[in-house]
Structure 1
Amino acid sequence: MGYCSRRRANEEWKNTACVDKVRELVLDNCRSNEGKIEGLTEEFVNLEFLSLINVGLLSVSNLPRLGKLKKLELSDNRISGGLDVLAEKLPNLTHLNLSGNKLKDISTLEPLKKLDSLKSLDLFNCEVTNLNDYRERALHYHAERRGDVGR
């Protein structure tokens, strides 16, 4: 079926896909446009799993607010920081995969302590894992988030 424009195709897809019913969405290897994934909007109100592996993301700042999202796959992108928006946009996130990104400094992980439900964080193949004390500091952020520091 041919469409005269990408916008019309996107609107047609939204009409037929019932985006409010979608619980899992895999957009791996699609390309982002200036950090935005075309068609990924706040209309996905029941989305619980989102995979954006190797889409060329430089940051997470353009992700839509997805209140029910629990699992987010962001491996093999070029994210280097700006994780502070995750707690605001994805408050129920339990699993976050950031493996293969450009995270170099442990301080870039500090905003993750605001994710109260976070249980799993994958940093495989990120430069931050080469730091001598990254595990202790990452665990400290986790304990601080739970209120266990000083106990």
Structure 2
Amino acid sequence: FFIKQRLTLNIRRDVRELILNNCSSNEGKIEGLTAEFVNLEFLSLINVGLISASNLPKLEKLKKLELSDNRISGGLDVLAEKLPNLTHLNLSGNKLKDISTLEPLKNLDCLKSLDLFNCEVTNLNDYRESVFKLLPQLTYLDGYDVEDREASDSDGEVDGDDDEEGNEDGKEEHFDDDGDEEGVVGEDDEVSGDKEEEGLGIDDEVDDDEVNDEDEVKAVQGEKRKREPDDNDDDDD
């Protein structure tokens, strides 16, 4: 029992993302969701029947929290205490009616993105101006900044998930000073190589001809030497 419990604890410590959408909550609690997820950075609790965030565990490393399509109407003051490093908060589709219910979010110093789609509070006059004034640390509200510029895809990601540099296979490509990949033969190299081979072939043919000419000269000289003694013998006779 103790070994199993220890293994379960180690697994929870390794988890960085946890999606529990459409699970059932019991009095605002999700069974198994505890503070043992010490390295959790992303938590999604969409449509789980929450009426408050007060029963969420303390997760100091959590950065992104999805709470859309629940029945939360207030009680956001616990978020700063339990989730001090939260940067992205989605409360879309909840029962938030007044700007004042968002005031506790001022204590989330790292909060830069807040979503309130389909909440009644979005129907108030000067809704966007009021929220940006109330929460000056915010960069994006409902996906747009204070100047109505849309958030980029990278702004919606959890911090620290940088892609590895390199090519598609995860290997870095090396280039020489001329911009060509090392180990790849260029067209110029192939042309010059062909010329060298052709040159070598011509030289070989010339050398072979020279050798054959020398052999013929030697053969002629040898025949002359053979005939010379015969001529002398005739004189003696």
Q: Which amino acid aligns with 2:39?
A: N
1:91 corresponding residue in structure 2: 84
Number of aligned residue pairs: give it.
Answer: 136
Pair 1:25-2:24 in alignment: no
Offset at residue 15 of structure 1 (A): 2.0
Q: State the SS of the aligned residue for 1:129.
A: helix
Moved over 6 A (4+): none
Structure 1 position 135 matched with structure 2 position 105: no
Residues 9 and 36 in structure 2, CA contact (< 8 A), matched pair in contact too: no
Structure 1 residues 28-39: aligned runs within 5 Å: 28-39=21-32
Following the alignment from structure 2 to structure 1, what is the Cα–Cα distance between the partners of residues 122 and 30? 28
Deviation, 1:137, is 1.3
| Residue 42 in structure 1 maps to residue 25 in structure 2 | no
1:79 to partner: Cα distance = 0.2
Q: What amino acid sits opposite 2:95 in the alignment?
A: K
- 1:77-114 Cα offsets, whole Å, 9 max, x none, are 00000000000000000000000000001100001011
Distance (Å, rounded) in 2 between the aligned partners of 1:15 and 1:61: 25
Q: Following the alignment from structure 2 to structure 1, what is the Cα–Cα distance between the partners of residues 104 and 90? A: 15
Structure 2 gap ranges (5+): 139-237
Higher relative contact order (CA 8 A, sep 6+): 1
Distance 2:62 2:41 in 1: 4
* 1:15 and 2:8 matched: yes
**Counterpart amino acid of residue 90 in structure 1:** L
Aligned partner of 1:53 among 38, 43, 46: 46
Instruction: State the Cα distance separating 1:17 from its structure 2 match.
Output: 6.9
Question: Counterpart amino acid of 1:128?
Answer: V
Deviations 1:5-43 (A, max 9, x none): xxx9xx87x728710000000000001000000000000
Find the residue that maps to 2:74 and give its secondary structure: coil
What residue number does 2:149 align with?
none
Greater mean deviation of Cα atoms: 15-24 or 56-65: 15-24
The SS at the match of 1:18 is helix
Question: For 2:33 and 2:85, how far apart are their aligned partners in 1?
Answer: 18
Give the unaligned 5+ runs of structure 1. 1-7, 147-151
Q: Percent identity?
A: 78
TM-score by length of 1: 0.85
Counterpart-to-counterpart distance in 1, 2:33 and 2:57:
7
More helix by share: 2
The residue number in structure 1 matching 2:68 is 75
Secondary structure (helix, strand or coil) at the match of 1:108 reads helix
Give the match for residue 122 of structure 1: 115
The CA RMSD over aligned residues, in Å, is 2.0
CA–CA separation in structure 2 for the residues paired with 1:53 and 1:37: 12
Q: Which residue of 2 aligns with 1:5?
A: none
